[in-house]
Structure 1
Amino acid sequence: MFNRKPNKNWILKSATISQEKDNKYYVSVLFEYVEEVSNVEITDKIIGLDYKSDGLYADSEGKVCGSPKYYRKSHKRLAKLQRQLSKKEKGSNNREKARKKVAKLHRHISNQRLDFLHKESTRIANLYEVVCIESLNMKAMSNKGFGNGKATLDNGYGLFQTMLEYKLLDRGKYLVKVDKWYPSSQICSHCGNRKHLNLTDRTYCCECGLELDRDINAALNIKNEGLRILMSA
């Protein structure tokens, strides 16, 4: 089954065969092609996305996309299978069967996450001409020192960014990355005033009268900064 069929002018560069821990084989095919991207007329189809550690993102239109948290939902079942695996005798057939069950569940969780991220990234790429995000290092953010490593890995935001990038490029559209040090959560999206927020502050309250969800306010700032970067390029 093919997710996408190659065009006649695409050049086949490589085919990589891999075997997963569940003993299933997969083939990854790499093609090379040249495609001219026409200039996109900047319209109102622009959106900013702010990463949410307890979900996926909040956008500049006031919507929040949560994460199904597939790993967390399957955690008890996975822990049970791993306990059963640890009790099996090393080198036995029963241990190999138990190992395959664990690997199969891991693969199932991964496929669920991939399906969700593909659908959501395709939806955004079809709807918007310009998508603005922060250039976050998700590997660093998943570090145990931050206290939310499992949640960060479970929502798959890093992979979501990659999907957005190539899907927008294929459609002749733009993904604009705002510097990760840009203080999107500290700036008032209405008047531009700047204030420091603690991690526990979930609402941005400004002297100008703005009261807005912290993440949505940040998404608006990411959109505005992304548009500035695009127009100045």
Structure 2
Amino acid sequence: MEYFDGKRDNTTINLEYQDKRYIYRIFKRTFDFVASLFGLIILSPLFLIVAIAIKVEDPKGPVFYSQVRFGKKQSPFKMYKFRSMIVDADKHLKELLSENEVDGAMFKMKEDPRVTKVGHFIRKYSIDELPQLVNVLLGNMSLVGPRPPLPREVAEYTEYDKQRLAVKPGCTGLWQISGRNDVGFSEMVELDLSYINKRSIMLDLSILIKTVAVFIKPNGAY
């Protein structure tokens, strides 16, 4: 199923309509809470294995990594992930900006030297993203929604791009199941705006099912 044809269509988000979708939003939040709690319990053995692997590779470094991201209406929050890079990775970002492999307000580098050996594996299978279930439980994020951006990324957004911040960000979305790192920034924005306008219970469930398939057969994550 194709969600994006490669062209900007000047999509406009009706903020008033989105804010008044009470039944959908209540169902979505209820499902998010129950599913994230259940997921954290079921996946706790995997969390333990990954934590041990990270500690074995780097005994002095932390298991988890938190980073300030922007959520709905540019509300800042701390997003949690398994640490997949060296401890001082953020300090080396400026040195690598010229190696960015995607256009627009994102940084992606396939052979990023900051990524650890364990990090390469957990990134490939998106395991590093699983701690975001805590963010879903807390209400900072939803299971399905736009990717939560960094403040420095939003600083480069146009007013058009900022429309993707009209709703709560998600652990997965159309971007993740449509090629992820093989999809550029402009395409990601279009996918997010398409999702926001078309989002429904059935679309959310469809994206979640396809996300499980991506875990099994990675589609460009690195």
TM-score with structure 2 setting the length: 0.22
Higher strand share: 1
Structure number with greater Rg is 1
Higher helix share: 2
